[in-house]
Chain A
Protein backbone atom coordinates (compact mmCIF):
# COMPACT_ATOMS: atom_id res chain seq x y z
CA UNK A 1 0.00 0.00 0.00
CA UNK A 2 1.40 3.38 -0.94
CA UNK A 3 1.89 6.17 1.53
CA UNK A 4 -0.84 8.26 -0.03
CA UNK A 5 -3.35 5.41 0.01
CA UNK A 6 -2.62 4.77 3.66
CA UNK A 7 -3.08 8.42 4.50
CA UNK A 8 -6.28 8.57 2.44
CA UNK A 9 -7.67 5.69 4.45
CA UNK A 10 -6.61 7.23 7.74
CA UNK A 11 -8.39 10.48 6.94
CA UNK A 12 -11.46 8.75 5.57
CA UNK A 13 -11.70 7.05 8.96
CA UNK A 14 -11.14 10.42 10.66
CA UNK A 15 -13.99 11.93 8.65
CA UNK A 16 -16.31 9.05 9.59
CA UNK A 17 -15.41 9.48 13.26
CA UNK A 18 -16.18 13.21 13.00
CA UNK A 19 -19.62 12.54 11.54
CA UNK A 20 -20.30 10.09 14.35
CA UNK A 21 -19.16 12.64 16.93
CA UNK A 22 -21.56 15.16 15.40
CA UNK A 23 -24.35 12.59 15.66
CA UNK A 24 -23.42 11.88 19.27
CA UNK A 25 -23.67 15.57 20.12
CA UNK A 26 -27.23 16.12 19.06
CA UNK A 27 -28.56 12.66 19.88
CA UNK A 28 -27.29 12.98 23.47
CA UNK A 29 -28.90 16.43 23.68
CA UNK A 30 -32.21 14.91 22.59
CA UNK A 31 -31.83 12.28 25.30
CA UNK A 32 -31.13 14.99 27.88
CA UNK A 33 -34.11 17.15 26.85
CA UNK A 34 -36.54 14.24 26.66
CA UNK A 35 -35.51 12.52 29.83
CA UNK A 36 -35.55 15.78 31.76
CA UNK A 37 -38.94 16.85 30.41
CA UNK A 38 -40.83 13.56 30.30
CA UNK A 39 -39.08 11.39 32.89
CA UNK A 40 -37.89 14.15 35.26
CA UNK A 41 -34.55 12.42 35.25
CA UNK A 42 -31.42 13.83 33.63
CA UNK A 43 -28.52 11.56 32.73
CA UNK A 44 -25.49 12.56 34.77
CA UNK A 45 -23.10 12.01 31.83
CA UNK A 46 -25.09 13.96 29.24
CA UNK A 47 -23.36 17.33 29.27
CA UNK A 48 -19.88 15.89 29.83
CA UNK A 49 -20.26 13.44 26.95
CA UNK A 50 -21.52 16.16 24.58
CA UNK A 51 -18.59 18.41 25.45
CA UNK A 52 -16.10 15.55 25.19
CA UNK A 53 -17.41 14.80 21.68
CA UNK A 54 -17.16 18.51 20.85
CA UNK A 55 -13.50 18.65 21.87
CA UNK A 56 -12.59 15.60 19.78
CA UNK A 57 -14.63 16.92 16.89
CA UNK A 58 -12.74 20.22 17.01
CA UNK A 59 -9.29 18.60 16.93
CA UNK A 60 -9.96 15.76 14.47
CA UNK A 61 -11.98 17.81 11.98
CA UNK A 62 -9.44 20.62 12.25
CA UNK A 63 -6.67 18.20 11.28
CA UNK A 64 -8.68 16.77 8.42
CA UNK A 65 -9.34 20.28 7.14
CA UNK A 66 -5.59 20.90 7.02
CA UNK A 67 -5.12 17.96 4.65
CA UNK A 68 -7.87 19.27 2.39
CA UNK A 69 -6.35 22.76 2.61
CA UNK A 70 -9.66 24.13 3.88
CA UNK A 71 -8.41 26.41 6.65
CA UNK A 72 -9.25 30.05 6.16
CA UNK A 73 -6.48 32.26 4.85
CA UNK A 74 -6.34 35.72 3.38
CA UNK A 75 -5.11 35.61 -0.21
CA UNK A 76 -4.89 39.33 -0.80
CA UNK A 77 -1.23 39.20 -1.96
CA UNK A 78 -1.83 36.46 -4.53
CA UNK A 79 -2.09 38.69 -7.58
CA UNK A 80 0.77 40.94 -6.49
CA UNK A 81 3.64 38.45 -6.15
CA UNK A 82 5.24 35.92 -8.51
CA UNK A 83 4.35 32.23 -8.71
CA UNK A 84 7.90 31.46 -7.63
CA UNK A 85 7.52 33.57 -4.49
CA UNK A 86 4.35 31.71 -3.55
CA UNK A 87 6.00 28.32 -4.14
CA UNK A 88 8.99 29.11 -1.97
CA UNK A 89 6.76 30.62 0.69
CA UNK A 90 4.66 27.47 0.79
CA UNK A 91 7.76 25.31 1.37
CA UNK A 92 8.95 27.58 4.16
CA UNK A 93 5.52 27.53 5.81
CA UNK A 94 5.38 23.74 5.54
CA UNK A 95 8.66 23.42 7.41
CA UNK A 96 7.60 25.98 10.05
CA UNK A 97 4.23 24.28 10.62
CA UNK A 98 5.89 20.85 10.81
CA UNK A 99 8.14 22.11 13.59
CA UNK A 100 5.23 23.84 15.31
CA UNK A 101 3.07 20.72 15.25
CA UNK A 102 5.95 18.62 16.59
CA UNK A 103 6.37 21.01 19.54
CA UNK A 104 2.64 21.10 20.23
CA UNK A 105 2.47 17.30 19.99
CA UNK A 106 5.16 17.00 22.65
CA UNK A 107 3.30 19.33 25.05
CA UNK A 108 0.00 17.62 24.27
CA UNK A 109 1.41 14.20 25.16
CA UNK A 110 2.83 15.52 28.44
CA UNK A 111 -0.44 17.23 29.38
CA UNK A 112 -2.38 14.06 28.58
CA UNK A 113 -0.09 11.94 30.72
CA UNK A 114 -0.51 14.40 33.59
CA UNK A 115 -4.29 14.24 33.43
CA UNK A 116 -4.55 10.47 33.89
CA UNK A 117 -5.09 10.77 37.64
CA UNK A 118 -8.02 13.22 37.53
CA UNK A 119 -11.51 11.90 36.91
CA UNK A 120 -14.59 13.39 35.30
CA UNK A 121 -17.33 13.96 37.86
CA UNK A 122 -20.18 12.32 35.99
CA UNK A 123 -18.60 10.14 33.32
CA UNK A 124 -16.16 8.62 35.82
CA UNK A 125 -13.39 8.33 33.26
CA UNK A 126 -9.98 9.99 33.53
CA UNK A 127 -9.63 13.50 32.14
CA UNK A 128 -6.94 11.99 29.89
CA UNK A 129 -9.74 10.88 27.55
CA UNK A 130 -10.38 14.55 26.88
CA UNK A 131 -6.75 15.66 26.78
CA UNK A 132 -5.91 12.86 24.34
CA UNK A 133 -7.78 14.81 21.65
CA UNK A 134 -4.85 17.24 21.65
CA UNK A 135 -2.04 14.79 20.78
CA UNK A 136 -4.42 13.13 18.32
CA UNK A 137 -5.13 16.42 16.54
CA UNK A 138 -1.58 17.77 16.53
CA UNK A 139 -0.23 14.30 15.69
CA UNK A 140 -2.47 14.08 12.62
CA UNK A 141 -1.46 17.58 11.55
CA UNK A 142 2.20 16.62 11.89
CA UNK A 143 1.59 13.51 9.75
CA UNK A 144 -0.11 15.62 7.08
CA UNK A 145 2.82 17.99 6.84
CA UNK A 146 5.37 15.16 6.87
CA UNK A 147 3.44 13.43 4.09
CA UNK A 148 3.48 16.62 2.06
CA UNK A 149 7.19 17.24 2.64
CA UNK A 150 7.93 13.61 1.72
CA UNK A 151 5.95 13.80 -1.51
CA UNK A 152 7.56 17.08 -2.51
CA UNK A 153 11.13 16.51 -1.44
CA UNK A 154 11.61 12.79 -2.01
CA UNK A 155 9.25 11.97 -4.85
CA UNK A 156 9.09 15.48 -6.28
CA UNK A 157 5.43 15.09 -7.25
CA UNK A 158 3.57 16.89 -4.47
CA UNK A 159 -0.06 17.49 -5.15
CA UNK A 160 0.29 21.24 -4.97
CA UNK A 161 -2.52 22.97 -3.22
CA UNK A 162 -4.54 19.83 -2.63
CA UNK A 163 -2.45 18.14 0.02
Chain B
Protein backbone atom coordinates (compact mmCIF):
# COMPACT_ATOMS: atom_id res chain seq x y z
CA UNK B 1 0.00 0.00 0.00
CA UNK B 2 1.03 3.58 -0.51
CA UNK B 3 2.40 5.67 2.35
CA UNK B 4 -0.52 8.05 1.88
CA UNK B 5 -3.16 5.35 2.30
CA UNK B 6 -1.46 3.77 5.31
CA UNK B 7 -1.03 7.20 6.91
CA UNK B 8 -4.72 7.95 6.48
CA UNK B 9 -5.69 4.53 7.86
CA UNK B 10 -3.53 5.05 10.95
CA UNK B 11 -4.92 8.55 11.50
CA UNK B 12 -8.58 7.61 11.22
CA UNK B 13 -8.21 4.11 12.67
CA UNK B 14 -6.46 5.18 15.88
CA UNK B 15 -8.76 8.18 16.25
CA UNK B 16 -12.03 6.29 15.87
CA UNK B 17 -10.85 3.33 17.95
CA UNK B 18 -9.82 5.49 20.90
CA UNK B 19 -12.86 7.72 20.58
CA UNK B 20 -15.32 4.86 20.84
CA UNK B 21 -13.22 3.20 23.55
CA UNK B 22 -14.03 6.21 25.79
CA UNK B 23 -10.73 8.07 25.45
CA UNK B 24 -11.17 11.85 25.78
CA UNK B 25 -11.67 13.51 22.37
CA UNK B 26 -8.56 15.68 22.81
CA UNK B 27 -6.35 12.67 23.46
CA UNK B 28 -8.00 10.60 20.72
CA UNK B 29 -7.09 13.36 18.27
CA UNK B 30 -3.63 13.94 19.74
CA UNK B 31 -2.61 10.27 19.89
CA UNK B 32 -3.87 9.58 16.35
CA UNK B 33 -1.92 12.61 15.13
CA UNK B 34 1.26 11.59 16.98
CA UNK B 35 1.08 8.00 15.67
CA UNK B 36 0.64 9.20 12.08
CA UNK B 37 3.42 11.76 12.39
CA UNK B 38 5.78 9.12 13.74
CA UNK B 39 4.87 6.86 10.81
CA UNK B 40 5.44 9.70 8.33
CA UNK B 41 8.65 10.74 10.10
CA UNK B 42 7.31 14.24 10.79
CA UNK B 43 8.62 16.20 13.79
CA UNK B 44 6.20 16.41 16.71
CA UNK B 45 7.13 20.06 17.24
CA UNK B 46 4.54 20.78 14.53
CA UNK B 47 1.83 19.99 17.09
CA UNK B 48 3.16 22.75 19.33
CA UNK B 49 3.42 25.25 16.48
CA UNK B 50 -0.01 24.49 15.03
CA UNK B 51 -1.43 24.69 18.55
CA UNK B 52 0.01 28.15 19.13
CA UNK B 53 -1.04 29.33 15.67
CA UNK B 54 -4.66 28.21 16.01
CA UNK B 55 -5.23 29.15 19.65
CA UNK B 56 -4.21 32.73 18.97
CA UNK B 57 -6.05 33.09 15.68
CA UNK B 58 -8.77 35.66 15.38
CA UNK B 59 -11.33 33.10 14.26
CA UNK B 60 -11.08 31.29 17.64
CA UNK B 61 -11.88 34.44 19.57
CA UNK B 62 -15.62 34.30 18.88
CA UNK B 63 -15.92 31.12 20.97
CA UNK B 64 -15.09 32.41 24.47
CA UNK B 65 -16.67 35.80 23.76
CA UNK B 66 -20.04 34.41 22.75
CA UNK B 67 -19.92 31.86 25.58
CA UNK B 68 -19.60 34.67 28.13
CA UNK B 69 -22.26 36.67 26.28
CA UNK B 70 -24.57 33.66 26.57
CA UNK B 71 -23.83 33.31 30.29
CA UNK B 72 -24.39 37.01 30.97
CA UNK B 73 -27.63 37.03 28.97
CA UNK B 74 -28.98 33.88 30.62
CA UNK B 75 -28.03 34.92 34.14
CA UNK B 76 -30.69 36.52 36.30
CA UNK B 77 -33.65 38.62 35.42
CA UNK B 78 -32.46 39.82 32.04
CA UNK B 79 -33.26 36.51 30.47
CA UNK B 80 -36.37 35.97 32.62
CA UNK B 81 -37.85 39.18 31.27
CA UNK B 82 -36.96 38.32 27.68
CA UNK B 83 -38.41 34.84 28.19
CA UNK B 84 -41.70 36.28 29.49
CA UNK B 85 -41.93 38.51 26.45
CA UNK B 86 -41.07 35.73 23.99
CA UNK B 87 -43.52 33.34 25.68
CA UNK B 88 -46.29 35.91 25.44
CA UNK B 89 -45.41 36.65 21.83
CA UNK B 90 -45.32 33.06 20.54
CA UNK B 91 -46.21 30.79 23.47
CA UNK B 92 -49.84 30.51 22.32
CA UNK B 93 -48.62 28.89 19.10
CA UNK B 94 -47.73 25.18 19.00
CA UNK B 95 -43.96 24.84 18.67
CA UNK B 96 -43.67 28.61 19.17
CA UNK B 97 -40.49 28.54 21.23
CA UNK B 98 -38.77 26.28 18.72
CA UNK B 99 -39.71 28.78 16.03
CA UNK B 100 -38.31 31.62 18.11
CA UNK B 101 -35.11 29.62 18.41
CA UNK B 102 -34.94 29.36 14.62
CA UNK B 103 -35.86 33.00 13.98
CA UNK B 104 -33.37 34.28 16.56
CA UNK B 105 -30.57 32.53 14.66
CA UNK B 106 -31.64 34.22 11.44
CA UNK B 107 -30.78 37.57 13.02
CA UNK B 108 -28.20 36.73 15.66
CA UNK B 109 -26.32 34.00 13.82
CA UNK B 110 -26.67 36.20 10.78
CA UNK B 111 -24.52 38.85 12.45
CA UNK B 112 -21.93 36.61 14.12
CA UNK B 113 -21.55 34.38 11.06
CA UNK B 114 -20.36 31.63 13.38
CA UNK B 115 -22.67 28.70 14.22
CA UNK B 116 -20.55 27.88 17.28
CA UNK B 117 -20.99 31.42 18.59
CA UNK B 118 -24.71 31.26 17.90
CA UNK B 119 -25.14 27.93 19.72
CA UNK B 120 -23.11 29.00 22.73
CA UNK B 121 -24.89 32.32 23.19
CA UNK B 122 -28.49 31.62 22.10
CA UNK B 123 -28.40 27.96 23.15
CA UNK B 124 -27.38 28.91 26.69
CA UNK B 125 -30.49 31.10 26.93
CA UNK B 126 -33.04 29.14 24.91
CA UNK B 127 -32.39 25.44 25.62
CA UNK B 128 -33.22 25.72 29.35
CA UNK B 129 -36.45 27.61 28.58
CA UNK B 130 -37.49 25.02 26.04
CA UNK B 131 -36.81 22.22 28.52
CA UNK B 132 -38.84 24.06 31.15
CA UNK B 133 -41.75 24.35 28.75
CA UNK B 134 -41.77 20.62 28.13
CA UNK B 135 -39.70 20.13 25.00
CA UNK B 136 -37.39 17.08 24.90
CA UNK B 137 -33.90 18.27 25.67
CA UNK B 138 -32.63 16.43 22.58
CA UNK B 139 -35.08 18.26 20.33
CA UNK B 140 -34.25 21.61 21.95
CA UNK B 141 -30.52 21.01 21.43
CA UNK B 142 -30.85 19.71 17.88
CA UNK B 143 -33.06 22.55 16.68
CA UNK B 144 -30.53 24.95 18.22
CA UNK B 145 -27.50 23.49 16.44
CA UNK B 146 -29.30 23.06 13.13
CA UNK B 147 -30.82 26.53 13.03
CA UNK B 148 -27.44 28.01 13.99
CA UNK B 149 -26.16 26.90 10.58
CA UNK B 150 -28.11 29.80 9.08
CA UNK B 151 -25.33 32.04 10.38
CA UNK B 152 -23.12 30.68 7.60
CA UNK B 153 -25.66 31.52 4.89
CA UNK B 154 -27.23 34.81 6.04
CA UNK B 155 -24.84 37.72 5.40
CA UNK B 156 -22.38 38.78 6.61
CA UNK B 157 -20.49 35.50 6.53
CA UNK B 158 -16.71 35.56 6.87
CA UNK B 159 -16.56 32.04 5.44
CA UNK B 160 -18.01 33.37 2.19
CA UNK B 161 -15.29 36.04 2.14
CA UNK B 162 -12.72 33.26 2.54
CA UNK B 163 -14.37 31.35 -0.30
CA UNK B 164 -14.41 34.41 -2.58
CA UNK B 165 -10.69 34.91 -1.99
CA UNK B 166 -9.89 31.24 -2.49
CA UNK B 167 -11.91 31.28 -5.72
CA UNK B 168 -9.46 33.87 -7.07
CA UNK B 169 -11.91 36.59 -7.98
CA UNK B 170 -14.46 34.65 -10.07
CA UNK B 171 -17.13 35.10 -7.38
CA UNK B 172 -17.64 38.50 -5.77
CA UNK B 173 -18.34 38.71 -2.06
CA UNK B 174 -21.42 40.87 -2.54
CA UNK B 175 -22.97 38.32 -4.94
CA UNK B 176 -22.20 35.49 -2.50
CA UNK B 177 -23.82 37.46 0.31
CA UNK B 178 -26.95 37.98 -1.78
CA UNK B 179 -26.94 34.34 -2.86
CA UNK B 180 -26.87 33.17 0.77
CA UNK B 181 -30.05 34.98 1.83
CA UNK B 182 -32.66 32.74 0.17
CA UNK B 183 -30.99 29.43 1.21
CA UNK B 184 -30.66 30.76 4.79
CA UNK B 185 -34.30 31.82 4.94
CA UNK B 186 -35.37 28.59 3.23
CA UNK B 187 -33.61 26.59 5.94
CA UNK B 188 -35.37 28.70 8.58
CA UNK B 189 -38.80 28.09 7.01
CA UNK B 190 -38.21 24.34 6.70
CA UNK B 191 -37.04 24.13 10.33
CA UNK B 192 -40.03 26.12 11.56
CA UNK B 193 -42.39 23.87 9.64
CA UNK B 194 -40.65 20.82 11.10
CA UNK B 195 -40.95 22.31 14.61
CA UNK B 196 -44.67 22.80 14.09
CA UNK B 197 -45.12 19.20 12.93
CA UNK B 198 -43.05 17.87 15.86
CA UNK B 199 -44.95 20.01 18.34
CA UNK B 200 -48.27 18.60 17.20
CA UNK B 201 -47.04 15.01 16.94
CA UNK B 202 -45.28 14.95 20.29
CA UNK B 203 -47.77 17.20 22.02
CA UNK B 204 -45.30 19.95 22.93
CA UNK B 205 -47.34 22.22 25.15
CA UNK B 206 -48.57 25.62 24.22
CA UNK B 207 -48.80 28.32 26.83
CA UNK B 208 -51.62 30.69 27.72
CA UNK B 209 -53.78 32.12 24.92
CA UNK B 210 -52.60 35.26 23.18
CA UNK B 211 -52.96 38.33 25.39
CA UNK B 212 -52.15 41.75 23.91
CA UNK B 213 -52.10 43.57 27.23
CA UNK B 214 -49.59 41.11 28.65
CA UNK B 215 -47.53 41.35 25.47
CA UNK B 216 -47.24 45.14 25.82
CA UNK B 217 -46.43 44.82 29.51
CA UNK B 218 -43.71 42.19 29.00
CA UNK B 219 -42.32 44.14 26.04
CA UNK B 220 -41.71 47.18 28.24
CA UNK B 221 -40.31 45.18 31.15
CA UNK B 222 -37.91 43.36 28.82
CA UNK B 223 -37.11 46.44 26.72
CA UNK B 224 -33.54 46.96 27.98
CA UNK B 225 -32.71 43.32 27.50
CA UNK B 226 -34.17 43.24 24.00
CA UNK B 227 -32.03 46.28 23.18
CA UNK B 228 -28.99 43.94 23.29
CA UNK B 229 -30.09 42.42 20.00
CA UNK B 230 -30.78 45.86 18.50
CA UNK B 231 -27.36 47.14 19.56
CA UNK B 232 -25.60 44.16 18.03
CA UNK B 233 -27.47 44.39 14.73
CA UNK B 234 -27.23 48.17 14.38
CA UNK B 235 -23.64 48.39 15.64
CA UNK B 236 -22.31 45.65 13.41
CA UNK B 237 -24.09 46.84 10.27
CA UNK B 238 -23.22 50.54 10.64
CA UNK B 239 -19.53 49.96 11.25
CA UNK B 240 -19.27 50.85 14.93
CA UNK B 241 -17.73 47.45 15.65
CA UNK B 242 -16.95 44.20 13.85
CA UNK B 243 -18.98 41.00 14.20
CA UNK B 244 -16.46 39.53 16.67
CA UNK B 245 -16.39 42.74 18.71
CA UNK B 246 -20.20 42.71 18.87
CA UNK B 247 -20.01 39.91 21.45
CA UNK B 248 -17.84 42.06 23.73
CA UNK B 249 -20.29 44.94 23.37
CA UNK B 250 -23.24 42.62 24.10
CA UNK B 251 -21.48 41.55 27.31
CA UNK B 252 -20.93 45.18 28.32
CA UNK B 253 -24.54 46.14 27.60
CA UNK B 254 -26.00 43.13 29.40
CA UNK B 255 -23.78 43.79 32.43
CA UNK B 256 -24.86 47.44 32.54
CA UNK B 257 -28.56 46.53 32.25
CA UNK B 258 -28.42 43.78 34.91
CA UNK B 259 -26.37 45.95 37.27
CA UNK B 260 -28.13 49.29 36.94
CA UNK B 261 -31.63 48.60 35.60
CA UNK B 262 -32.55 45.20 37.01
CA UNK B 263 -30.10 45.58 39.91
CA UNK B 264 -29.34 41.89 40.29
CA UNK B 265 -25.72 41.62 39.12
CA UNK B 266 -23.12 41.55 41.86
CA UNK B 267 -19.36 41.10 41.77
CA UNK B 268 -19.73 37.65 43.33
CA UNK B 269 -22.33 36.63 40.81
CA UNK B 270 -20.19 37.91 37.95
CA UNK B 271 -17.16 36.00 39.23
CA UNK B 272 -19.22 32.78 39.36
CA UNK B 273 -20.45 33.48 35.87
CA UNK B 274 -16.86 33.72 34.65
CA UNK B 275 -16.19 30.36 36.32
CA UNK B 276 -19.10 28.74 34.47
CA UNK B 277 -17.87 30.21 31.20
CA UNK B 278 -14.42 28.74 31.85
CA UNK B 279 -15.95 25.29 32.27
CA UNK B 280 -17.41 25.46 28.77
CA UNK B 281 -14.43 27.27 27.19
CA UNK B 282 -11.95 24.80 28.67
CA UNK B 283 -13.49 21.86 26.86
CA UNK B 284 -13.60 23.58 23.48
CA UNK B 285 -10.40 25.56 22.99
CA UNK B 286 -8.00 22.70 23.65
CA UNK B 287 -9.90 20.47 21.23
CA UNK B 288 -9.48 23.20 18.58
CA UNK B 289 -5.80 23.48 19.49
CA UNK B 290 -5.08 19.79 18.88
CA UNK B 291 -7.47 19.50 15.90
CA UNK B 292 -5.23 21.94 14.04
CA UNK B 293 -2.46 19.31 13.94
CA UNK B 294 -4.94 16.64 12.87
CA UNK B 295 -5.95 18.93 9.99
CA UNK B 296 -2.27 19.49 9.20
CA UNK B 297 -1.75 15.75 8.77
CA UNK B 298 -4.85 15.48 6.55
CA UNK B 299 -3.47 18.29 4.38
CA UNK B 300 0.05 16.82 4.42
CA UNK B 301 -1.30 13.48 3.19
CA UNK B 302 -2.94 15.42 0.34
CA UNK B 303 -6.29 13.84 1.09
CA UNK B 304 -8.40 16.50 -0.69
CA UNK B 305 -6.23 16.15 -3.84
CA UNK B 306 -6.51 12.36 -3.70
CA UNK B 307 -10.31 12.59 -3.41
CA UNK B 308 -10.61 14.98 -6.34
CA UNK B 309 -8.46 12.63 -8.43
CA UNK B 310 -10.98 9.92 -7.69
CA UNK B 311 -13.85 12.05 -9.01
CA UNK B 312 -12.09 12.60 -12.32
CA UNK B 313 -11.54 8.89 -12.81
CA UNK B 314 -14.98 7.92 -11.68
CA UNK B 315 -17.50 9.68 -13.87
CA UNK B 316 -18.36 12.69 -16.01
CA UNK B 317 -22.04 12.74 -15.10
CA UNK B 318 -22.87 16.20 -13.74
CA UNK B 319 -25.31 15.01 -11.09
CA UNK B 320 -23.00 12.25 -9.86
CA UNK B 321 -20.02 14.62 -9.72
CA UNK B 322 -21.97 17.16 -7.66
CA UNK B 323 -23.22 14.43 -5.33
CA UNK B 324 -19.68 13.14 -4.83
CA UNK B 325 -18.31 16.63 -4.18
CA UNK B 326 -21.10 17.14 -1.64
CA UNK B 327 -20.20 13.89 0.07
CA UNK B 328 -16.46 14.64 0.16
CA UNK B 329 -17.06 18.10 1.62
CA UNK B 330 -19.29 16.67 4.34
CA UNK B 331 -16.62 14.08 5.18
CA UNK B 332 -13.85 16.69 5.27
CA UNK B 333 -16.11 18.95 7.34
CA UNK B 334 -16.12 16.25 9.99
CA UNK B 335 -12.35 16.13 10.40
CA UNK B 336 -10.99 19.56 9.47
CA UNK B 337 -11.56 23.19 10.34
CA UNK B 338 -13.96 25.00 8.02
CA UNK B 339 -11.65 27.84 6.95
CA UNK B 340 -8.86 25.40 6.03
CA UNK B 341 -11.21 23.24 3.99
CA UNK B 342 -12.44 26.24 2.01
CA UNK B 343 -8.90 27.47 1.32
CA UNK B 344 -7.56 24.04 0.38
CA UNK B 345 -10.45 22.54 -1.58
CA UNK B 346 -11.78 25.57 -3.49
CA UNK B 347 -8.89 25.57 -6.00
CA UNK B 348 -9.38 21.79 -6.41
CA UNK B 349 -13.17 21.48 -6.70
CA UNK B 350 -14.17 24.81 -8.24
CA UNK B 351 -12.58 24.07 -11.66
CA UNK B 352 -14.36 20.69 -11.72
CA UNK B 353 -17.67 22.35 -10.84
CA UNK B 354 -17.19 25.12 -13.41
CA UNK B 355 -16.31 22.59 -16.10
CA UNK B 356 -19.75 21.03 -15.69
CA UNK B 357 -21.43 24.41 -15.82
CA UNK B 358 -21.92 25.31 -12.16
CA UNK B 359 -21.71 29.04 -11.44
CA UNK B 360 -18.89 29.84 -8.95
CA UNK B 361 -21.33 31.76 -6.74
CA UNK B 362 -23.71 28.80 -6.72
CA UNK B 363 -20.82 26.46 -5.93
CA UNK B 364 -19.77 28.64 -2.99
CA UNK B 365 -23.23 28.28 -1.45
CA UNK B 366 -23.19 24.52 -2.07
CA UNK B 367 -19.76 24.25 -0.43
CA UNK B 368 -20.67 26.27 2.65
CA UNK B 369 -23.94 24.40 3.13
CA UNK B 370 -22.02 21.12 2.97
CA UNK B 371 -19.54 22.31 5.55
CA UNK B 372 -22.47 23.31 7.74
CA UNK B 373 -23.68 19.72 7.62
CA UNK B 374 -20.15 18.48 8.33
CA UNK B 375 -20.08 20.66 11.45
CA UNK B 376 -23.01 18.80 12.95
CA UNK B 377 -22.01 15.33 11.79
CA UNK B 378 -20.75 12.69 14.29
CA UNK B 379 -18.42 11.84 15.79
CA UNK B 380 -16.97 15.25 16.62
CA UNK B 381 -18.49 18.06 14.54
CA UNK B 382 -17.86 21.41 16.27
CA UNK B 383 -21.58 22.24 16.49
CA UNK B 384 -22.25 18.87 18.14
CA UNK B 385 -19.64 19.50 20.80
CA UNK B 386 -20.88 23.00 21.64
CA UNK B 387 -24.49 21.76 21.66
CA UNK B 388 -23.46 18.97 24.01
CA UNK B 389 -21.68 21.41 26.32
CA UNK B 390 -24.45 23.99 26.59
CA UNK B 391 -27.28 21.48 26.94
CA UNK B 392 -25.64 18.58 28.78
CA UNK B 393 -27.21 16.04 26.38
CA UNK B 394 -24.85 13.10 25.85
CA UNK B 395 -23.14 13.03 22.47
CA UNK B 396 -24.39 9.52 21.69
CA UNK B 397 -27.97 10.64 22.45
CA UNK B 398 -27.47 13.49 19.99
CA UNK B 399 -26.20 11.11 17.28
CA UNK B 400 -29.38 9.10 17.54
CA UNK B 401 -31.83 11.99 17.63
CA UNK B 402 -30.21 14.15 14.94
CA UNK B 403 -31.29 11.87 12.08
CA UNK B 404 -34.44 13.83 11.08
CA UNK B 405 -32.36 17.02 11.11
CA UNK B 406 -29.83 15.44 8.74
CA UNK B 407 -32.66 14.46 6.44
CA UNK B 408 -33.89 18.07 6.46
CA UNK B 409 -30.39 19.45 5.83
CA UNK B 410 -29.76 16.82 3.15
CA UNK B 411 -32.96 17.53 1.24
CA UNK B 412 -32.36 21.29 1.48
CA UNK B 413 -28.82 20.72 0.15
CA UNK B 414 -30.08 18.65 -2.78
CA UNK B 415 -32.66 21.30 -3.64
CA UNK B 416 -30.01 24.03 -3.49
CA UNK B 417 -27.63 21.95 -5.59
CA UNK B 418 -30.03 20.97 -8.34
CA UNK B 419 -32.30 24.03 -8.45
CA UNK B 420 -29.75 26.81 -9.03
CA UNK B 421 -32.52 29.41 -9.40
CA UNK B 422 -33.11 29.35 -5.63
CA UNK B 423 -29.54 30.49 -5.07
CA UNK B 424 -28.87 32.57 -8.17
CA UNK B 425 -32.06 34.59 -8.74
CA UNK B 426 -31.29 37.24 -6.13
CA UNK B 427 -27.63 37.90 -7.07
CA UNK B 428 -28.52 37.92 -10.79
CA UNK B 429 -31.37 40.35 -10.17
CA UNK B 430 -29.22 42.89 -8.34
CA UNK B 431 -26.10 42.85 -10.45
Contacts and interface: CB of A to CB of B under 8 A. Distances in A.
Report A-B touching, CB under 8 Å: yes
B170 interface: no
A70 B26 CA distance: 11
B161 interface: no
B52 A22 contact: no
9 shortest interchain CB distances as A-B pairs? A62-B286, A58-B285, A61-B282, A29-B248, A65-B282, A51-B56, A71-B24, A19-B274, A55-B56
Given A32-B245, A62-B286, A96-B31, A18 B278 contact: yes
B68 A26 contact: yes
Interface in A1-57: 15, 18-19, 22-23, 25-26, 29-30, 32-33, 37, 47, 50-52, 54-55, 57
A146 interface: no
B44 A107 contact: yes
Contacts, number: 164
Interface in B82-125: none
User: Which of A26, A52, A86 has most chain B Cβ within 10 Å?
Assistant: A26
B25 A72 contact: yes
Nearest to B58: A51
Interface residues of B, number: 57
A22 to B, nearest CB: 5
Interface of B: 19-27, 30-31, 34, 44-45, 47-49, 51-52, 55-58, 60-61, 64-65, 68, 240-241, 245, 247-249, 251-252, 271, 274-275, 277-279, 281-283, 285-289, 379, 385, 388-389, 394-396
Nearest to B389: A72
Given A37-B241, A57-B64, A104-B47, 17 more contacts: A26-B251, A29-B65, A29-B248, A54-B61, A55-B56, A58-B286, A61-B282, A65-B282, A72-B389, A73-B23, A73-B24, A86-B22, A89-B21, A107-B44, A111-B52, A130-B52, A131-B52
Interface of A is mostly: helix
Contacts of A133: 52, 55
Contacts of B65: 25-26, 29
Interface of B is mostly: helix
A133 B26 CA distance: 17
A72 B388 contact: yes
A59 B47 CA distance: 13
B45 A37 contact: no
A50 B252 CA distance: 16
8 contacts: A22-B64, A57-B64, A62-B283, A71-B283, A75-B22, A75-B396, A76-B396, A104-B48
